[in-house]
Amino acid sequence: MDFDLSPEERALQQKARDFAEAHLFPNEMAIEEHGKLPADILANIHRQVLACGFNAINHAREHGGQGFSLFHQMLVNEEFGKATGGIWGAAWQPAIPLKDGTPEQRERYLVPSCRGERFYCFAITEEGAGSDPRRVRTSASRRQGRWVLSGEKWFVTHGDVADFIIVHALAEGDPDKPTLFLVDKERPGIRVKRSPKFMHNYISEHVEFVFDAVELGDEAVLGPVGGGFELTKDWFVEARLKIAAHCVGAAIRATEIANRYAGERIQFGRRIHDFQAIEFMLADMAVEIMAAKSMLYRVAWDLTQSDDRKRAHAMASVVKLHASEMAGRVIDKALQILGGRGYMRENPVERLYRDVRVDRIWEGTSEIQRAIIGGQIKKRGLGLYTGWVGGAA
């Protein structure tokens, strides 16, 4: 078995690392100072994204993307995930269900999104519906040959900067007919209820939207009526792998900072790295990262070779669960090693500490990932997880 990266993959990884260090890291504190990324800085990063070929890495070249495999996306996202404040979101990756649109929808939404001319947000969660999608109350009813969309959505990330919204709603209010709708944000009947403040400062806002009898034509339906849940799960698979890659990158950056500090900090006449308490923390951190990175690379490679939708959903849950919980443990130790310096907002570890907490919540909580994994074990057996790649699937 050859577990090494090819020269081309190593070059891509280095290119992503260089991009993060040159264009993302220097602008992290702007998010802390302004609460989100100022428009002029964001516009400059967008220009660099296009110049370096990091736009729409998850979409085909024929649609204006870079055509990266899941594995190659993972290599890039790991490096970008080392940046704080979600600034990695400036290298846009349009929602994967857009590729399943009609030719007209792809031309109107996907192609300009890949070019960075349009930006989406995905509206799923509601006040009474998060982990349980059957409790969604946002509905689209047929009236005189049109769809009328009504409801309220919470935690819509990038809702302030997006110009169109992918809305997960129930056709005719039927929980068995979840459907995705492409909704231009300027349509009458859409309003922002509020933009709450959260634990982290972020590149953009997590908006609450109200949809008040928004009229839509059949051309707004993305995929089949009633097929929204499968398309949303496809989005979750990609999002969960991206989160896992970000978490591994964040843990690596925090550990590197803590290790460097431990090698320089002198107390009681010795480097604190030489005290067993610190040495053992760093050893545990290294082991956790190695285990999570091994899982991430294996799963990303495996899913690049496979077109099994259900298996992808099962594996994405495992790697998202493990990597997000690992990052929390590792970054907590990194902050402890840094002491008071680690608690200063100017220190990347402090910001990473706040950032990664949400990774155990959004795109499916840790508990939901465990429920998915447990359900897969019942349906497909332990071999799905305890076997090797492509084992008892």
Is residue 9 within 8 Å of residue 72, measured between CB atoms? Answer: yes
pLDDT in tens, 373-382: 999 999 999 9
Which residue among 193, 222, 251 closes a domain?
A: 222
Catalytic residue among 21, 78, 363, 367: 363
Predicted pLDDT at 78: 98
Active site residue 127: no
Confidence band (pLDDT; 50, 70, 90) for 264? Answer: very high
Same domain, 236 and 196: no
| CATH code (residue 29) | 1.10.540.10
Look up the domain containing 341 and give its range. 229-386
Report how far residue 202's alpha carbon sits from residue 85's, in angstroms, rounded to the nearest whole number: 4
Q: Is 109 domain-assigned?
A: no
Mean pLDDT along residues 315-344: 98
pLDDT (0 to 100) of residue 2:
79
Residue 132 pLDDT > 90: no
Residue with tokens 């490679």: 301
pLDDT digits (tens, 9 = 90+) for 228-239: 999 999 999 999
Structural tokens at position 249: 């990158």
pLDDT band at 391 (very low <50, low <70, confident <90, very high): very low
Distances (CA, A) of 269 to 52, 259, 265, 266, 273: 47, 18, 10, 6, 12
pLDDT at 133: 84
Residue with tokens 């790991």: 78
Asked whether residue 236 falls in the same domain as residue 360, the answer is yes
Give the CATH number, domain containing residue 174: 2.40.110.10
Return the pLDDT at 67. 98
Q: What is the pLDDT of residues 181-216, one digit of tens each?
A: 999 999 999 999 999 999 999 999 999 999 999 999
pLDDT for residue 392 is more than 60:
no
Average pLDDT of span 60-69: 98
The CATH number assigned to the domain holding 279 equals 1.20.140.10
The count of domains in the chain is 3
| Residue range 3-14: mean pLDDT, rounded | 96
> Residue 318 above 60 pLDDT?
yes
d(CA 196, CA 159): 12
Mean pLDDT in residue range 277-287: 98
Per the prediction, the chain carries an average pLDDT of 96
Query: In terms of domains, do 273 and 315 share one?
Result: yes
Domain match, 155 and 280 both: no
**Are 160 and 247 part of one and the same domain?**
no
- Based on the fold, state whether residues 40 and 161 are members of the same structural domain: no
Same domain? 42 vs 25: yes
In a domain, 111, yes or no: no
Percent of the chain residues past pLDDT 90, beyond the cut: 95
Q: How confident is the model at residue 336 (pLDDT cuts 50, 70, 90)?
A: very high
